[in-house]
Every structure is written in structure tokens, then in C-alpha cells.
């Protein structure tokens, strides 16, 4: 079969991603696929800070694919310095959101170009090019979407919840301001024309905070179902916990089963296949019962090799599913 596959045009992948976990798998995919990878990134976390437009998920994906991400923090640039941030505080500026000196170049350039009327898509493409990234990184939309975290009667901007409150506030509901009016990134339509089979991979990002805002963009879910492609999701929950971030905590607060099966259920009807960790293999039967193919593997990406290994597993799984569809 692999002989037959090599004579065909190679696989193209559209990855849906939020922050750290999504960015890691995207980096593994990018290593294997180069310009055959498009990453569609959540922008619901975007916000304005000290007058600068910050796109945390776009930046995490961009820095991770560019090989300059800080592996410790999951955000920002490796070996970052904090002279600006320290002086900002001396001058009475806000201290709750850290801005590194190098990271700041992204925000300043992007903010200026957005103010001049350029799109986030164009700006991101140029920044990626400057960082030597060969894959396409697409913001999910060029329109304004803002994730709001509701905790009872209280509503918090996403970064206030995530950074200032360190996710300590229990989540009762999530809303995405503007998502109903936002147009999904039109560059996705280019994928309809491209040469080679297409796989959509929902990365192991937070389904509620990172992937839902993408899927809620009007027409996007329909487009994903309509485009000739095989669709997979990778569980961000391993053994009942998130590798990083508040996914499991939020699932519990939203009264959802915080497990790979809970995630699979969330994507049920959308994906053809589901990748989850070997430690959760006892869930294979109940996940398969959701009408999706299952694949278990080592999903925790501890280093660059781990990212590529998971990417390779996902690609192989997608190719198996594609072959089955064709048979």
C-alpha cells in the first residue's frame, strides 16, 4: 500500500490549532509536510494590551513552527529578556501580562500594520516568512472574535481569566463575541483546488477554548464536512488530565466527562477518526461506538522527536482512512 501511496500526490493537511499542544503537533506536521501544511489558528484569545494587538495562539504557533518558542512557558520566545517589561512597571504600566523584548517586535509591527488597514492574515504570512516558516499559518478569521469566560454572573475577558486569574475562576459558560458575524479565513478555499488528498487534523488543543471558536465560525463546520478530506481529532486529554492548560478542569466545570471519550463525544459527527493516548486504550470501544475510527499512540510530545512521531502517526492514520474510503 505504501508503494501505491508514494506514486500518488502526497497528503496535504489542514490542522486546527490553539496554543501549546496544538502548536507542538503543528510543528511536527510542518517538519514532515512543509508547504503541504496549513494551520488554522484560533484568534478568540486575541486582545489589546498597552495599545498593542496581541494574538497569543497565532504567536505560539508561529514561534513553535519557527523554532524560537520558549519550551518552558508555552508562550513567548526562548531566551527572552524583560528590559521593556521591567521599565514598563517602573513607569506605572500594567504587570499582569508579560511582554518580552523580542516578542514585542511582533506585537508592535503587527499593531502598526493592522492600524494601516492590513489584514491579520497578510501580516501573519509576512511574519512567518521572516521566521523561515514554510507552512501556512492562517488566523481563523480577520474579523474580531473575543472569547469571554462566564463564571456565574461574572464575565471575564479571556486573558483576564487565563493569565490574570490563572484559570482559578470556575467556568459556567463560554461565549465568543463576534463569532456569528465573523467570516472564516477565505484562504481555506485554496485547499479545495490543491493537488493531493487532504486530511483535516484537529490538534490536541482545548476543545472548548481553542477549537470551538474556530468551529463556530459561520459556514466553517459545513465547509469542513463538504471538502473532500478525511477528518481526525487528537485528544488533548490523557488519563483524565490535560497535558497543559485548563481543558480537564473546564470539562469538569461544564459537567462534561474529562476524558478522551468526552473529547471524542464533543467532535462526534465531525471527525472520521480519533487519536488518543495508549494509556486510555480501555476507552477504544466506547469511542469507536461514536462512529469514528480509533488510533491509540503515545500522544505526549516531550521533545521535537515526540512531535514528529505523533505527526507521523496522525499522517499514517489519515492515509489508512483515505485508502479505506477509496476502496
Q: Which residues bind its own copies (CB under 8 A)?
A: 50-52, 77, 80-81, 83-88, 90-93, 100-106, 108-109, 111-112, 115, 126-127, 130-131
Query: How long a stretch of residues is the chain?
Result: 327
Q: Least Å distance between CB 179 and its own copies? A: 26
For 90, counting Cβ atoms within 10 Å of its Cβ (0-12 exposed, 13-18 middle, 19+ buried), the class is: exposed
Nearest to its own copies of 86, 278 (CB atom): 86
Nearest to its own copies of 44, 100 (CB atom): 100
Nearest to its own copies of 48, 291 (CB atom): 48
Q: Least Å distance between CB 91 and its own copies? A: 5
Angle between helices 56-65 and 101-115 (to 10 degrees): 120
Hey, is 320 helix, strand or coil? helix
Q: Least Å distance between CB 36 and its own copies? A: 25
Q: Least Å distance between CB 175 and its own copies? A: 26
Nearest to its own copies of 75, 85 (CB atom): 85
Nearest to its own copies of 7, 79 (CB atom): 79
Round to whole Å and give the CA distance between 170 and 156.
11
Query: Residue ranges of the alpha helices (H) in the chain?
Result: 2-7, 20-33, 56-65, 83-90, 101-115, 120-130, 158-159, 190-193, 212-215, 220-226, 247-253, 260-266, 284-288, 304-326
Q: Least Å distance between CB 108 and its own copies? A: 5
Q: How many helices (H) and strands (E) does the chain have?
A: 14, 14
Separation in Å, CA 3 to CA 6, 166, 220, 322: 5, 50, 34, 15
Q: Least Å distance between CB 112 and its own copies? A: 3
Nearest to its own copies of 103, 212 (CB atom): 103
Amino acid at each position: 500500500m505504501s508503494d501505491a501511496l508514494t506514486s500518488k500526490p502526497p497528503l496535504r493537511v489542514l490542522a486546527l490549532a490553539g496554543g501549546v499542544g496544538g502548536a507542538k503537533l503543528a510543528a511536527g506536521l510542518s517538519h514532515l509536510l512543509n508547504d503541504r501544511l496549513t494551520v488554522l489558528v484560533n484568534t478568540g484569545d486575541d486582545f489589546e494590551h498597552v495599545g498593542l494587538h496581541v494574538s497569543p495562539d497565532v504567536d505560539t504557533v508561529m514561534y513553535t513552527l519557527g523554532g524560537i518558542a520558549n519550551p518552558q512557558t508555552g508562550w513567548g520566545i526562548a531566551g527572552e529578556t524583560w528590559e521593556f517589561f521591567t521599565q514598563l512597571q517602573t513607569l506605572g504600566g500594567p504587570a499582569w501580562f508579560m511582554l518580552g523584548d523580542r516578542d514585542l517586535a511582533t506585537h508592535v509591527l503587527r499593531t502598526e500594520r493592522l492600524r494601516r488597514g492590513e489584514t491579520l492574515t497578510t501580516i501573519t504570512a509576512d511574519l512567518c516568512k521572516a521566521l523561515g516558516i514554510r507552512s501556512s499559518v492562517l488566523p481563523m478569521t480577520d474579523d474580531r472574535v473575543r472569547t469571554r469566560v462566564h463564571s456565574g454572573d461574572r464575565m471575564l475577558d479571556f486573558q483576564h481569566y487565563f493569565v490574570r486569574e490563572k484559570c482559578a475562576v470556575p467556568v459556567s459558560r463560554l461565549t465568543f463575541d463576534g463569532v456569528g458575524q465573523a467570516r472564516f479565513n477565505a484562504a481555506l478555499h485554496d485547499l479545495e483546488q490543491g493537488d493531493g488528498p487532504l486530511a483535516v487534523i484537529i490538534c490536541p488543543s482545548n476543545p472548548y477554548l481553542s477549537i470551538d471558536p474556530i468551529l463556530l465560525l459561520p459556514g466553517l463546520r459545513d465547509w469542513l464536512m463538504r471538502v473532500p478530506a478525511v477528518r481526525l481529532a487528537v485528544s488533548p486529554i490523557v488519563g483524565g488530565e490535560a497535558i497543559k492548560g485548563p481543558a480537564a478542569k473546564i470539562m469538569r466545570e461544564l459537567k462534561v466527562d474529562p476524558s478522551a471519550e468526552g473529547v471524542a463525544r464533543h467532535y462526534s459527527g465531525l471527525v472520521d477518526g480519533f487519536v488518543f493516548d495508549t494509556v486510555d486504550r480501555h476507552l477504544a470501544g466506547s469511542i469507536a461506538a461514536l462512529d469514528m475510527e480509533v488510533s491509540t499512540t503515545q500522544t505526549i510530545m516531550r521533545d521535537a522527536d515526540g512531535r514528529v512521531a505523533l505527526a507521523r502517526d496522525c499522517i499514517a492514520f489519515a492515509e489508512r482512512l483515505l485508502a479505506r474510503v477509496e476502496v
